[in-house]
Amino acid sequence: MKHDNIIRIVDMFTSAENAQNMQDAYFVTHLMDTTLERVLREHRKNSIQVLNDSQIKLFTYQMLRALKYIHSAGIIHRDLKPANIAINVDCDLKILDFGLARQAEAEMTGYVATRWYRAPEIMLNWRHYDKKGML
How far apart, in whole angstroms, are the C-alpha atoms of residue 42 and residue 5? 23
- The full DSSP string for 20-87 is GG----EEEE----EEHHHHHHHHHHHTS--S-HHHHHHHHHHHHHHHHHHHHTTEE-S---GGGEEE
Q: Does the active-site annotation cover 97? A: yes
Measured distance CA(17)–CA(135) in Å, rounded: 43
Please identify which of the residues 4, 11, 33, 97 carries the catalytic annotation.
97
What pairs with residue 94 in β-bridges?
Answer: 86
Pairwise CA distance, residues 40 & 43, whole Å: 5
Would you please indicate which residues are annotated as catalytic (active-site) residues? 97
